[in-house]
Amino acid sequence: MVNVDLGDFTYVADHSNISHAKIGKFSSISQHVNVGLGVHPSRMFVSTHPAFYSILKQCGTTFVNGSKFNERIPVEIGNDVWIGACSIILDGVKIGDGAIVAAGSVVVKDVPPYSVVGGVPAKLIRYRFDEKTINKLILLKWWDKDINWIKERSDLFCNTNDFLEKEQ
């Protein structure tokens, strides 16, 4: 991990490569996940090779005196997000709270909260809950509650309806 802000209780499994990312609390990132690998110019520039826009000397040299292209666009991964094995999250993507990224997905655009996405490129498969439930969970922001609050309600985490009913 390079230049990563990792939230409380979030874990990253073996063989994952995460760069320039902010990851919320209680997120689960599986093995062999790649996040924020950098970008190359695909329009305007004659070549996509970094020797023509970067001073980082990725190939051992550069032809420019200053950076000509933003190679790193931060990734934002919300709270309570599950990213399946062997997924790739491209630079600049925002993954909403409670979302699930299916294993082997390539995420090229923003992912809404509490959605399930998958495929290459990743597309919406479904939402985890109905709109009313999603809105309640977003407003509640349980992941920001005191740890004692979370512990006291931990038995309710196995049933979303019971959990939200207790909070009304």
pLDDT band at 166 (very low <50, low <70, confident <90, very high): confident
Query: What are 76's two structure tokens?
Result: 């934002």
**DSSP alpha helix (H) spans, 40-130:** none
Write out pLDDT tens, residues 128-143. Answer: 999 999 999 999 999 9
Which residues are registered as beta bridge partners of 89?
35, 107
pLDDT at 167: 80
pLDDT at 163: 94
Write out pLDDT tens, residues 42-63. Answer: 989 999 999 999 999 999 999 9
- Top pLDDT among 104 and 43 is at 104
Fold of 2-38+73-128: UDP N-Acetylglucosamine Acyltransferase; domain 1 (2.160.10)
> Which residues contact residue 97 at a Cβ distance below 8 angstroms, ignoring those fewer than 6 apart?
24, 78, 79, 80, 81, 113, 114, 137, 138, 141, 143
Chain-wide mean pLDDT for the chain?
96
Determine the Cα–Cα distance for residues 24 and 163; give it in Å rounded to an integer.
21
Q: Around Cβ 149, how many Cβ atoms within 10 Å?
A: 10
pLDDT at 73: 95
- Summarize the confidence of residues 66-80 as an average pLDDT: 95
pLDDT at 48: 94
Determine the Cα–Cα distance for residues 54 and 86; give it in Å rounded to an integer.
28
Domain boundaries in the chain? 2-38+73-128, 129-168
> Which residues contact residue 82 at a Cβ distance below 8 angstroms, ignoring those fewer than 6 apart?
27, 28, 30, 99, 100, 101
